[in-house]
Amino acid sequence: MLFAIFFAFWRFAEIFTLIPTMGMLAYFVNGYVQANIITPNYILILFIVSVLGLAWALFTLFSYHRSQANARFVSLIDLAFVGAFIAGVYYLRFIGSADCTHITRGSSVDVSFGIFGSGHLNGVDVSTDKTCAMLKASWAFGIMNCIFFFITSVLACMHGDRAPVEEKRRRSTSVSHHSHHRRSHSGGGSHHGSRHGSRHGSRRSSHSHSRAYV
């Protein structure tokens, strides 16, 4: 019961953070596709991982009983998503030091967003505020999902270790109950057979006595 509550909670957290991540990155992918330009890896990798992660989170949430029976497999896939999100966050790491909301002055480093303009890290930038903010939000959600998928992986692994023990207990309980039922049934049958045999024997003895006296 506790596994179901915690697992569902963190799955909802993954879904609620992956939906906006996928939407914002889809905006960039669509812009590059319409401009007939190859999408940069720092956008494409995190976008693909977000789409697959969202599909996996929805599938395992709505098919909970199947996920519960294959807890170790779910744990392995979640751990693989942790690595995939780390890769996506690594490729987009340059946006972490960007100032997307304040205008500051100082030494600047130019960063190109392709068709969406260019920005300056620790410099002066006004024109690419929206682009920078969307990428930075996607980067932050990617870091959060690294943590979320690691938690669900640990939860599923812990449940997978307990599942064989619970299954053995259920089997031993069902076997003992079945054997007890068979014993009681066989005992009743032998008792019924002895009563039937005694009746049959009494009939034979009565017939033998009648023949002796005739």
Q: What DSSP assignment string belongs to 117-132?
A: -EEEETS---TTHHHH
CB 32 within 8 A of CB 38: yes
C-alpha to C-alpha distance for 41 and 44, rounded to whole angstroms: 5
56-65, 130-139, 148-157, 166-175: the lowest-pLDDT one: 166-175
47: pLDDT strictly greater than 80: yes
The pTM for the full model equals 0.66
> Where are the chain's structural domains?
2-96+145-168
Which of 19-28, 90-99, 152-161, 183-192 bottoms out in mean pLDDT, i.e. has the lowest?
183-192
The confidence score (pLDDT) of residue 175 equals 44
pLDDT (0 to 100) of residue 159? 78
* Highest mean predicted confidence (pLDDT) among 3-12, 122-131, 154-163: 3-12
Q: Is the pLDDT of residue 188 over 60?
A: no
CA distance 53 to 15: 9
What's the rounded mean pLDDT across residues 84-102?
A: 87
Q: Is 148 exposed, middle or buried (0-12, 13-18, 19+ CB in 10 A)?
A: buried
